[in-house]
Structures are given as C-alpha cells and as structure tokens.
A and B are shown apart, each in its own frame.
Chain A
C-alpha cells in the first residue's frame, strides 16, 4: 500500500513538473496578450522624423510597422515597413519620491521606443506598433510641410485623476472618468475645429496621483486614450513635458515618452537615481522649441548650458519658444506667498526670465496654475510696454502664457494678493480651454478658446519684419515697440486690471526705530536709578 501510494505521489509530481511549465506558459500568453497601450509618438528633431513610445505587459521585439497609407492594403504593410526599437523593463519609485526609504522597483511593464526617420513631408502614413505578433490597432497621421508655416494645439495641465470639483465650475469632476471625458471632449472639439494641426503640446501634469503606481497607470491610460475609438493622441504627434505631479514616481514618467535630443542637463534626481527627464529640444519649420524641466528649478546653470547647446545647434532659428511647467508669471493659487511651493515659484520668477532674456526667447508656454495669464512683453523682469494690446511688431522681450486646464479636472482661483504687475490679461471662467498656435516666417499667432462655448478667450500676434533675402535672423532685436490698441477687449469678469504700489519709506522706518530705542534706553536708565534709590 505504502509503496503504491508513494509511487503514485512520485508520478504525480513528475507529471506536474513536466506539465506545469507548459501550462503556465500557455496561460500567460492566453490571459495577457502583449497588447500595446499608452501608444504615442513625439516629433523627432526634424520634421521627417517621429519617435514612437508605447507600453506593453511583456518584453517583445518593439516593432513599428509604418508605411504611406496609400501602400497599405487591408491591414498588410509592404515588406520593408518594419522598424525595430528597444523594449526595456520599467521602474517606478512607488510610494513617491524624496524619502530615502523608498526605492525604485520594477512595475511589471515594458517601455518600447522606436524612432522612424526619412518620412516624406505632407504625406499620410499608417502605422501600428507591437512585438511582431501582437499589434496595436492601425492609426494614421499626416506629416507636415512647415516650410510654409505650421500650427499646433497647446493645453494646460490635463492632470487626469485630479477630479477636483471647483465650486465655480459648471461641470463638476468627481472621478477619473469625469476627467477622461473632459479631456476627450477638449481633444474632440479642438481637433475637429483645427484638423490640419501638426502636433499637440501638453504643459505638464499629464497625470495626477503622487504616490500610487496603479492609480497613475490608470491615469496614463486615460491621458493617452481618452476615447479609444477616436485615438486622438495616436493621430497627432504629442509634445509633453514633466509637471510636478508626473515627477512623483521618479523615472516612471520617462518611460511614457520618447523625446528627441534629450539632455542629461536639467534632469531631476532622487535618492541618487537620475530620472531621465532632462531638457530637450526640437525644431519645426524655423522655430526652435526648448522644453525645460522646472522640477529642477534651482539649476538654472544646467538649463543655461542646455539652451546654449540648443541655440548653438540651430543658429538660424527664426522663432525661439520655451516651455516648462511651473509658471513664472501666473496669478492664481500658486502665485501667492503662502503657496507651499512659493520658494520654487519665486525662484523661477526671479531667475528664469534672465535665461529667456539671454537667449532672446520669443514665447514661453507654462502650466501649473490652472488659470490663464498672458503677460506683457517682458524684459529684465519688467514689461517692455505696459499698454494692453493684442498685436506687437518687431518687439523686444518675451511673452509668457500660462494655460488653464485642458481637461477641466482642476481649476485654481484668482488671488488678489498675488503680484499682477506683469499681467496683460487674466482669465478664469472654470471651463476647459485650448490654444491654437500658428507660426510662419514672420508671424506668431495664438488664439485661446474655451471648449464649452467655442468662444475666444484671448488672442495675440507677434509680427516680425520679413528678412532681407541674404541676412540671417537677429535674435533679441532691440527695435521699437509698435503697440496697436486692439479693438477687441476679451471677455468677462475674468479680466482684472491690476497694479501694486510701492513706497520707499525706509528712512522713516529707520529713524522711528532709532527714536523708540532711545526712548527705551532713557526709560531703562530712569528705572534703574529709581531702583537704586529704593
């Protein structure tokens, strides 16, 4: 009996050893097919290049199949249309940054990156991404021809998952699903109104959760695929940057984007792990875009060095555009001295514009304060001309835009106690907005639109005198400002005219303090004398 049962057990174990691994192999394949998600592509360093990025549950070949749409026949790509990239296991500082007791751990996902070069201009392409076996859906996009100008849409903090129900907002957000619906709505309205844009630009805080990996994973899915049937972020190239929320899981942010010319300059680091989130640049048409990481706010020397490299590499850029998350010039909750990140914001306001002055940056895009502010042309920390206008020509200085929420997930209120001396226009009507920007050789134009009504919130134009055929561009030109008073005063109670006044009363303060001190001294002497007498 004993022998028999022992033999039975042994054979069972043997069978299990043989069978189980195959079973396991089969189940993992069957249960979790390696379906790509968070599919996105960024602009390359040139218009003929795009950089793909997607996540996958397991490690595969990281392939993009891409071909001119005209040559893709019913799901079959021409033979030479496969580009292979790399798949890398992703890590995150689950639990949040900054605390020495948190370390990076793998998240059980893979990031896939592949760069495709040599694309033709003004051409429709079809692509899909995958591991060679399991593929994403097919998507199409059209390359631009920015020689004759180009356009893009910009959005402030989509911040999927913030679900912050501002009392003043008509549409309340109480869940990730609400944020996702808001984001889908904005993208739908913006891209159907401007279908020929060349790319989308989000200004940080793409996701919201600070500490929880699972929550952030869901938020990334909602950000990249707010509406799976529409595939907005798979149809258009996306330029994204890192906000304070995206930074919180450390390196995890960097696995979601494939950014061109990314530098180690300006990257953040926590617990000695560098987060691969440094500054990067790209050119489109004759505009140079410099995308800076303001989470590393104090390291202006690094950003300075990066901007020098970017500008040196593109000496003929006609327009210089910078973007970062934490706004230097905004007027809502982050702008007050009691804001808990006011040290950072104050530092950025006092010092970052010096770099913009130095490199002759024309336009800056920022987010973080979930409200809209357009500054005057600023130079040396001062308005070049504090006359309200919607059009400047051959002007000096930099205009700074802080964009309001793109999804409606969160809004901050106007703060009357903040500084407003730089502000030409403030707007907060608690509705999602997007900005439509067009750039050609001689004109930069921005129109900011609220998604609920489709009305214009603000518009602004910078003109440059056409170049004489031979000469190259003149950065930071000091010509005169032509301010044309605009016929249109943009909407509503959101517009606030502001000014601080200052008083140089230091001598009075000093003399009165001295006076009081003298009085105190006399009183002390008198008391001492009386005490002695007693």
Chain B
C-alpha cells in the first residue's frame, strides 16, 4: 500500500511545516516588541546583575531577631569575587544586611548574584547582594521533572514535555507580545486557549476522534465560561483596573495600546484552561473506551457514560481549581483570619472578589465541559465507528446533516 509510506512522510512534513510556521510566528510577534526603558538611567550610568563567589566572611554579627525569634538578623561583611561582566575577576567587599526584606546568610564558597551599578564618573560603584545563585537548582528541578515525566510516562510523557514547551513558549513569544501590542486580551486569551488545547490534546490524545471531541469541548467550555465571566465582571463592576496597582501598566498601555481593562478576563481564562482540558480529555477517553469495547453502542449510551465519568470528576476537578486559588492566596486568607476582617469588607475587596470570580467561573467551565465533551465525543465516535463497521448510526441522537453522506460512502 503506497498509503502507508505516504502517510508518515506527510505527517512528518506536516509537523515540520507547523513547527516552522510556529517559530516564524513567534519570532515575528516577539521581534518588534517596543522598547520601554524601565530603569530611566541617564548618561553613562549603568546597572547589571552579575554572578559572584563569596571568598570570605570578614565580619559577622548575626543572631536571633529581637521581635521574631525564629529569624536571624544582623550584618555580614564579605569579600567576593565577581565572576561575570565589566568587573569580572575583581575582588570587592560587600555589606550584607540580614533583615525582613533580604535575608541570606552567606558562607565562603557560595555563589551569589549581585547588582553592580556604576555612576558615569566611574568613581562610585554600588554592589549589592541580590540573591543566592538559584539558577542551577531551578534547572535541576526542571530537569528532574522532565526526566521523570519521560521515564514514567514513556512516549506520552515525552509528548507531554513537548506540549508544556509549546504552552510556555507560546505564552512568552505570542500571547504576552499580543497583549502588549494592544490585541484585545479577551480575544487573545480565547485564541490562545484554543491553540493550546489543539496542540496539547493532539500531542497527548493522538490523532484520534476522541481528541477532536476533547478539543471541541475545551474550546466551547472555555468560551462558555468566558461569557459567564464577562457577565459577572460587568454585574460586580470588576475589571483589570481593579487588579492590584495598575499605574505602570497604564503607562505601558499609553505607549503600546495595551488593554488594561480586559487583563483580568484574560488571566481567568488562562488559569482555568488546564482544568478544562484535563476533564475534556478524560471524558473523551472514557467515552472512547466504551465505544471501542462496544462498537455498536449508540450515541445515547456513549453520552450517558461520558456524563457518568464526568460526574465523578467534576467535583474533584472544581475542587482542584478552588484549592489552587486557595493555595495561591493562602497568605491573604491567614491575614484575613488574623485581622478578623469585617464580612462586607472581605467579600467586596478587589482581591477577594477577583479570587472568587476566578475560582467559580473556572469551575463552572469545568462543569459544563462534561456534557459538552460527552455530547461531541458520543456524536463523533458513533459516526466514525459506523463508518468503520458500515453500520448506520442508531437514531438515538439525530446525526448532524453533514454526517449523512459519509455513512453511506465506501
């Protein structure tokens, strides 16, 4: 069969082409990102962040803090060698304060990151400890994650890594630049959600009918929650203007046309996307499972089985979303408890209102994704299994008009 040879070649070509298009698109979008000078320095003044190694601790007066006994506070004086940049190789003395804002006890041999700031005259150089050199540890953690995902997940695990890579790069190179350049955050978020759903689910679910069902379900689910969110944002008078402090975002919007007001909407869509995809692929898979074990199962049966599985999942899934938001705002919840804040004050504060809005509109999307995916999966699978078996679809659910022709074909 020539088909067998052509298909992989076409598939590879398709993948390569898609990859090229993606890289080109990413490059195009991120390339002309307008420049915004955040440090505002004049003349030949400059600052950079460089790596350095602690050579010795020359003075140390550190002990338990007077107020918070578990914490060490005080001062250290250290001699460091700068390992990168303009002053590479030079030994310098720095003063390290251990206080509530910066609290790192240095020891000889340790690698650190310092800010090196030089005034134009060259007479004054300020070298301040920024942080320990965390980079290597972060890379190790990421590496371990990727390795274990591949080791335990096998091929699927590897595909998941690719999916994650795609999601991350498209956030950095496409989504953020789009927002920055003034694309409607709502539209950009929806498009981004669709794109991520397509790529992730294709990579993980494979080129199958159930994947198509999951993608459709995800996109419609997200769009649905977007609608709900939009409505309640309007009713509760919430917008990006209520997100923390937006002065600087407004400055940037002045240059680039960024839409600050819709940012909140975009952030909610993005944060619920994962859970929606999760439940969509699970429901689609289980519907698929039922369909393959019983090829004659009608759309109605498949739909009901999807709903059953979905019912088990939606509770835990919605819980997942709500727990994620709780985890994200744990500090705040503790403080609210500690201060015994007034009920009206809590429920109407921007932060809490936004958290609740995020948690519940996302969960709502999860809930509605279940019937949506069950329906699409049941429909698509009956059509395709009918096509395979040459048996007409059982009339439990009306077939879409376009599906009638292929049933008879072949």
A99 within 8 A of B: yes
Which residues of A have CB within 8 Å of B42?
264, 267-269, 274-275, 278, 296
Whether A301 and B40, one on each chain, are in contact in the complex, defined by CB atoms closer than 8 angstroms, is: no
Q: A290 → chain B, closest Cβ, in Å?
A: 15
Distance A102 CA – B256 CA, assembled complex (angstroms): 11
A-B pairs with beta carbons under 8 A, tally: 191
Q: Provided the pairs A304-B126, A305-B119, A502-B68 are in contact, do residues A338 and B244 lie with their beta carbons within 8 angstroms?
A: yes
Distance A384 CA – B71 CA, assembled complex (angstroms): 16
In chain B, positions 18-42 with a C-beta closer than 8 Å to chain A are 34-42
Whether A100 and B34, one on each chain, are in contact in the complex, defined by CB atoms closer than 8 angstroms, is: yes
Residue of A whose beta carbon sits closest to that of B260: A340
Distance A208 CA – B130 CA, assembled complex (angstroms): 33
Whether B43 and A305, one on each chain, are in contact in the complex, defined by CB atoms closer than 8 angstroms, is: no
Contact partner of A412 (CB less than 8 A), chosen from B95, B118, B245, is B245
B339 within 8 A of A: yes
**Contact flags (1/0) for B89-124 with A, using CB distance below 8 Å?**
000000101011111000000000001011111011
A311 within 8 A of B: no
Which residues of A have CB within 8 Å of B37?
97-98, 269-271
Whether B255 and A269, one on each chain, are in contact in the complex, defined by CB atoms closer than 8 angstroms, is: no
Which residues of A have CB within 8 Å of B151?
520-521, 524, 527-528
Which residues of A have CB within 8 Å of B249?
340
Contact partner of A265 (CB less than 8 A), chosen from B65, B101, B119, B339, is B119
A16 within 8 A of B: no
Which residues of A have CB within 8 Å of B123?
305
Contact partner of A422 (CB less than 8 A), chosen from B97, B100, B152, B250, is B100
A-B CB contact pairs (8 Å), 18 listed: A95-B254, A97-B37, A98-B255, A100-B35, A274-B43, A295-B40, A298-B39, A298-B115, A301-B118, A301-B124, A351-B115, A351-B128, A354-B128, A380-B99, A381-B100, A382-B97, A382-B100, A502-B103
Which residues of A have CB within 8 Å of B247?
244, 340-341
B294 within 8 A of A: no
Which residues of A have CB within 8 Å of B255?
95-96, 98-99, 102
- In addition to A211-B254, A380-B97, 8 A-B residue pairs with Cβ atoms within 8 Å of each other are A244-B251, A248-B254, A296-B42, A301-B119, A341-B245, A382-B73, A502-B70, A504-B72
Q: Provided the pairs A99-B36, A270-B40, A500-B100 are in contact, do residues A305 and B121 lie with their beta carbons within 8 angstroms?
A: yes
Which residues of B have CB within 8 Å of A437?
none
Of the listed residues A101, A265, A386, the one surrounded by the most CB atoms of chain B closer than 10 A to its CB is: A265
Q: Provided the pairs A349-B101, A412-B245, A501-B68 are in contact, do residues A301 and B117 lie with their beta carbons within 8 angstroms?
A: yes
In chain B, positions 226-244 with a C-beta closer than 8 Å to chain A are 243-244
A interface residues with partner B (beta carbon < 8 Å): 95-102, 210-211, 244, 247-248, 264-265, 267-271, 274-275, 278, 295-302, 304-305, 308, 333-334, 336, 338-341, 343-344, 346, 349-351, 354, 380-383, 386, 412-413, 416-417, 419, 421-422, 496, 499-504, 513, 517, 520-521, 523-524, 527-528, 531
Q: B78 → chain A, closest Cβ, in Å?
A: 15
**Interface size, B (range):** 35 or more
Distance A340 CA – B245 CA, assembled complex (angstroms): 6
Q: A467 → chain B, closest Cβ, in Å?
A: 29
Whether A501 and B70, one on each chain, are in contact in the complex, defined by CB atoms closer than 8 angstroms, is: yes
B289 within 8 A of A: no
B47 within 8 A of A: yes
Distance A264 CA – B123 CA, assembled complex (angstroms): 15
Ranked nearest first, the 10 interchain pairs of A and B with the lowest CB-CB distance are A381-B99, A269-B42, A524-B151, A99-B255, A339-B245, A301-B119, A268-B40, A416-B335, A340-B248, A305-B124
Residue of B whose beta carbon sits closest to that of A501: B68
Contact partner of A299 (CB less than 8 A), chosen from B47, B73, B95, is B47
Q: B86 → chain A, closest Cβ, in Å?
A: 13
Distance A531 CA – B101 CA, assembled complex (angstroms): 51
B87 within 8 A of A: no
Q: A217 → chain B, closest Cβ, in Å?
A: 17
B56 within 8 A of A: no
Which residues of B have CB within 8 Å of A500?
68, 100
Q: B146 → chain A, closest Cβ, in Å?
A: 12
Whether A297 and B100, one on each chain, are in contact in the complex, defined by CB atoms closer than 8 angstroms, is: no
B75 within 8 A of A: yes
Contact partner of A421 (CB less than 8 A), chosen from B38, B100, B115, is B100
Distance A521 CA – B144 CA, assembled complex (angstroms): 10
Q: A340 → chain B, closest Cβ, in Å?
A: 4
Whether B45 and A301, one on each chain, are in contact in the complex, defined by CB atoms closer than 8 angstroms, is: yes
Residue of B whose beta carbon sits closest to that of A517: B144
Contact partner of A419 (CB less than 8 A), chosen from B47, B100, B144, is B100
Which residues of A have CB within 8 Å of B115?
298, 351
Residue of A whose beta carbon sits closest to that of B246: A340
**Contact flags (1/0) for B129-170 with A, using CB distance below 8 Å?**
000000000000100100010011010000000000000000
Residue of A whose beta carbon sits closest to that of B350: A413
Which residues of B have CB within 8 Å of A210?
250-251, 254
Residue of B whose beta carbon sits closest to that of A385: B66
Which residues of A have CB within 8 Å of B248?
244, 340-341
Distance A446 CA – B351 CA, assembled complex (angstroms): 34
Whether B68 and A499, one on each chain, are in contact in the complex, defined by CB atoms closer than 8 angstroms, is: yes
Q: A342 → chain B, closest Cβ, in Å?
A: 8
Distance A161 CA – B42 CA, assembled complex (angstroms): 28
B125 within 8 A of A: yes
Which residues of A have CB within 8 Å of B125?
301
Which residues of A have CB within 8 Å of B73?
382
B389 within 8 A of A: no
Q: B350 → chain A, closest Cβ, in Å?
A: 8
Whether B124 and A304, one on each chain, are in contact in the complex, defined by CB atoms closer than 8 angstroms, is: yes
B331 within 8 A of A: yes
Distance A524 CA – B146 CA, assembled complex (angstroms): 13
Distance A500 CA – B331 CA, assembled complex (angstroms): 10
Contact partner of B254 (CB less than 8 A), chosen from A96, A308, A344, is A96
B3 within 8 A of A: no
Residue of A whose beta carbon sits closest to that of B74: A380
Distance A203 CA – B99 CA, assembled complex (angstroms): 27
